Amino acid sequence: MKDPVTLLRDQILLAALPYVEESGWTWAVVEKAAAECKAQDDVQSGLFPNGITDVVAHFSDYADRLMIEKLSKLPIVTLRSKDKVRLAILSRNEILENKKAIVKAAMAFWAMPSRVIQGQRVLWRTSDIIWNWAGDTTTDYNRQTKRALLASILMGTNMVWIGDESEGHIITQAFLDRRLENVMEFGRTIGTIKKIVPNLFRQANQRK
């Protein structure tokens, strides 16, 4: 069950989305949405203290929560990690299918130089949520690497998906599959290096 603050944020966000599609992410559309929700005493400023940046970040959080809700109803026991990650990304896109213009506006919003770092944090959060759901429990530097690589994949896949008009989004799926395979290959390479390097050091020490 949602807490009252998240519930109210969601209500204002959903009321704002039709206006965002028309005029982009601005604080004016948030104020208009808050008025439609009959919010009192400038409550939107308290809910989103960093202004429109918080609203756009909440849009991503809202999509993440819907994604996890959707995934929780699917049978995944036999799926490999790569397949789980693939399923999560495609499920998130399905949820946002009718909001492509809004997603595109969000990507343009985060592309501004003053917002790039915050945009990267938002992508990282989605990546972390997906990997955690997929069962990743790594705690070393590999954890950070996985999430950074997936954040990059999410960005690239969204850019392809926004303009993809192919049946069943075949183009997006093909792009995603190639990127995921590259990441898995990178992971296998890193795993091999982690095994080889200590052995090289041991061999070098034995020769001394």
The answer to whether the CB of 59 falls within 8 A of the CB of 102 is: yes
CATH T-level assignment (fold) for domain 53-207: Tetracycline Repressor; domain 2 (1.10.357)
What pLDDT score was predicted for residue 201? 42
Give the model's confidence band at 207: pLDDT under 50 very low, under 70 low, under 90 confident, else very high.
Answer: low
What pLDDT score was predicted for residue 140? 81
> Which of 42-46, 60-64, 82-86, 187-191 has the weakest average pLDDT?
187-191
How much is the average pLDDT of 66-82?
92
Backbone angles phi, psi at 190, to 5 degrees: -60, -40
Residue 57 has pLDDT above 60, yes or no: yes
The answer to whether the CB of 40 falls within 8 A of the CB of 12 is: no
Give the model's confidence band at 65: pLDDT under 50 very low, under 70 low, under 90 confident, else very high.
Answer: very high
Residue 69 has pLDDT above 90, yes or no: yes
Q: Where are the domains of the chain?
A: 1-49, 53-207
Query: Residue 40, SS3?
Result: coil
pTM: 0.87
pLDDT, tens digit (0-9, with 9 covering 90-100), for 161-206: 999 999 999 999 999 999 998 776 655 544 444 444 444 444 444 5
Task: Give the other-Cβ count within 10 Å of 173's Cβ.
Answer: 19
CA 113 to CA 52: how far, in whole Å?
16
CA nearest neighbour of 76 among 151, 133, 128: 133
**Whole-number percent of the chain with pLDDT over 90:** 74
Supply the mean pLDDT for the chain: 89
pLDDT, tens digit (0-9, with 9 covering 90-100), for 110-145: 999 999 999 999 999 999 999 999 999 888 888 888
